[in-house]
Structure 1
Amino acid sequence: MDTLTLPAPIAHYFASEHHPEALAQCFTANAVVTDDGHTYTGIDAIKAFMAAASAKYNATTVPFSLTEDDGLQLVRAKVSGHFSGSPVNLSYRFCLEDGLIGSLEITV
């Protein structure tokens, strides 16, 4: 089985999914995260969102593919947790800036 090699900030993001403080270190100061119709801008908003999502869904994310699309890194991942429809495959569209995540859009 092939091992998926992710760029360092993306690998750190997935490895830190239940640790909002560690997750915050993956993002630029003015990063933007969009998920489920909501947008979170800046480290404090992103940390609060990630902490609430982790507590509510206790999800586990397993990336299984990586492609590049118009300069963005597109990761597909299987997400399992305490939510209707679990597990589900989600798309994570990352824009990397200076070795950190500048923006992230999570979609079905």
Structure 2
Amino acid sequence: MDTLNLPAPIAAYFAADPETEALAHCFTAQAVLKDEGHTYTGARAIQTFMADASAKYNATAVPFALEQEDGSHVVRATVTGNFPGSPIVLSYRFRLAGALIASLEITS
């Protein structure tokens, strides 16, 4: 992760994983997270989703690539956990607002 030179809010997101309280502080109050076909709006909803996902999958993500695309930062990461097909590569599309994450979409 260090060699990617991730923007500070994104580096904080991956460094905080799986500590859901710390992860929630990476987002704006009205941030939007899209994952697994669902949309979560607001830091509290995002924290609840992340806590549930962490308990269910016990996953860890290791970023290995970073691109800029249409005003977003797209990070590719290898995700390992307690789920079928582990490990897998996921894309994390971040939109930032200052020092925080305004939106995140996670796709395979």
Match of 1:99 in 2: 99
Deviation at 1:38, TM superposition (A): 0.4
**Distance in 2 separating the partners of 1:15 and 1:21:** 12
**Distance in 1 separating the partners of 2:91 and 2:15:** 17
What are the residue-to-residue correspondences of 1:68-107 with 2, within 5 Å?
A: 68-107=68-107
* C-alpha distance after superposition, 1:29-80 (max 9, x if no partner): 0000000100000011000000011111111100000000011000000000
CA RMSD of aligned residues (A): 1.0
**Distance in 2 separating the partners of 1:82 and 1:93:** 23
Query: Would you say how many aligned residue pairs link Structure 1 and Structure 2?
Result: 107
Which TM-score applies when normalising by structure 2?
A: 0.96
Match of 1:3 in 2: 3
Could you list the runs of 5+ residues in structure 2 that have no partner in the other structure? none
Match of 2:52 in 1: 52
**Distance in 2 separating the partners of 1:79 and 1:97:** 25
Segments of 4+ moved more than 3 angstroms: none
**Distance in 2 separating the partners of 1:58 and 1:16:** 14
**Distance in 1 separating the partners of 2:102 and 2:50:** 16
